[in-house]
Amino acid sequence: MGYTCETLQFYKHKINASMKSLLHSPNRTDISKLLNAAFVLTIMFFMSSCGQEKQHSAVQPDCTTLTAENADDCIRLNQIQVLGTHNSYKLDLPETLIEAVNTFLPGWSENIEYGHRPLSEQLELLGIRQFEIDIFADPEGGLFARPQGALMSGDSLFIDREEMLEPGYKVLHVQDIDYRSVCLTFVSCLEEVREWSIANPTHLPIMILVELKDSQATSRGEFALTQPVEITASMILDVDQEILSVFDRSHLIMPDDVRGEFETLEQAVTEAGWPTLAQSRGKILFALDNTGRHRDDYISHSEDLSGLVMFPSSAPGEPTAGFIKMNNVLADAELIRSYVEQGFIIRTRSDIPNQEARSGDTTRRDLALASGAQYVSTDYPEVSPFGSGFIVTLPGAEGPGICNPVNAPEGCHNSWIVE
């Protein structure tokens, strides 16, 4: 009986999770069974060559005429367009908290009254293929375990959660006041994406945009917000380590994979291009949302990005340029289009909380979709609840992606950008 690499990967992760669980309450018989299963799985991996990087064929596909048969080998991941969500982890605020804080800070919540489904539902039901996850360092554990807003409003589900007491990066929007998340730790968010990815091995590549948050908090009315831990240059590689604790190396597209034999990432993406869909289906790539100090600290560990997991947001002309965050499409639509034509991957936004959702204005959305930005991020992949009818969808989509309106190869059909 034959097994696909994806199936073997699935069982490998299940066995690893079971082993971790048993370490807390060991049972000799169960451990023996799992060790035997792990041994057999290792042999199967060896025999099937799973876990090794795919060797690209020396024979280049003929892409003179694009067809359904050669589309995956001829279309590159930067030549499609997909939707992402902004603050993808965020849940709606509880009404009890909104009402309580309104007594001393009226209207405080107007721009953060939005929320999202669990990550796996966004992937499965909404076709989202880019997430944004904000993370706070919590090296000792427990820093964000008792949010002031949860205590004030009686939101007991988010008080003293076990996972919040453990060390590691935590996921939330604003400490104490906008603390509700569909997944509370960075690792748990990634595990949810990994499990969905393994179960759907032909999915279009998923980008996860990571924002490191450590700005000093200022009081909001009666709230003296918890002060975050500064994420120093020596700590920033812990983010990579948490990613690699969840995903096998072969599950990821990293800067090394794109740079190849070129001296810089910028040379690679502008001269050779990004991986094809055939090379990137079923894979995840990470990008660093931060600019300024955090970006510079991250790059300082490897000036050519060798060994680093995330693509930093870097402007053209910088050797690390490949991915660029350009959120203001109202000002930068033509510049985004130019960068897309040059081979860069762009993330932009189709709406700002909660302006378009309340007004129904589609100017920003329409510019974002027409700009060619590969990742268009929204808070409203479903209809706005504010009565405006605002929603963001990909025009003409037959799946979670479409041919990029700016740089897709001639003859590309949206019916080929499916899973």
Burial 91-119 (b: 16+ CB within 10 A, else e): bebbeebbebbeeeeeebbeebbbbbbbb
Whether 14 has a pLDDT exceeding 90, the answer reads no
Identify the band that residue 1 occupies on the pLDDT scale cut at 50, 70 and 90. very low
In angstroms, rounded to a whole number, what is the distance separating the alpha carbons of residues 136 and 231?
8
pLDDT band at 12 (very low <50, low <70, confident <90, very high): low
Residue spans of alpha helices (H) in 166-314 = 186-199, 237-246, 255-259, 265-267, 277-280, 293-300
- Chain segment 376-386, per-residue pLDDT in tens: 999 999 999 99
122-142 mean pLDDT: 99
> What number is the average pLDDT over the span 381-405?
98
The predicted pLDDT at position 218 comes to 83
Q: How confident is the model at residue 6 (pLDDT cuts 50, 70, 90)?
A: very low
In a 3-state reduction of DSSP, which class is residue 394?
A: coil
Q: How far apart are CA 103 and CA 101, in angstroms?
A: 5
**What confidence category does residue 224 fall into, taking pLDDT thresholds of 50, 70 and 90?**
confident
Q: In the prediction, which pLDDT does 46 show?
A: 43
Q: What is the pLDDT of residues 269-321, one digit of tens each?
A: 999 999 999 999 999 999 999 999 999 999 999 999 999 999 999 999 999 99
On the question of pLDDT at 44 being above 50, the answer is no
Distances (CA, A) of 335 to 146, 329, 332, 346, 371: 44, 9, 5, 11, 9
Reported as a single tens digit per residue, the pLDDT across 335-375 is: 999 999 999 999 999 999 999 999 999 999 999 999 999 99
pLDDT tier, 33 (very low <50, low <70, confident <90, very high otherwise): low
Cα dist from 222 to 94, 100, 102, 103, 340, whole Å: 18, 11, 11, 10, 46
pLDDT of res. 27: 55
The CATH architecture annotation of domain 67-416 reads: Alpha-Beta Barrel (3.20)
Q: Between the CA atoms of 129, 135, 141 and 143, what dihedral angle is there, to the nearest 10 degrees? A: -130
Q: What is the H or E stretch that residue 128 is in?
A: none
Task: Determine the Cα angle at 309 with ends 306 and 313, to 5°.
Answer: 90
Query: What is the average pLDDT value for the chain, to the nearest integer?
Result: 90
pTM: 0.87
pLDDT at position 4: 44
Coil vs helix vs strand at 185:
strand
Pairing of strands 206-212, 130-136: parallel
Range 173-194 average pLDDT: 98
Arithmetic mean of pLDDT, 79-94: 98
Any idea how long the chain is? 419
Each domain of the chain, given as residue ranges in start order, spans: 1-50, 67-416
With CA atoms as reference, report the closest residue to 389 among 357, 364, 419. 357
Over residues 98-103, the mean pLDDT reads 91
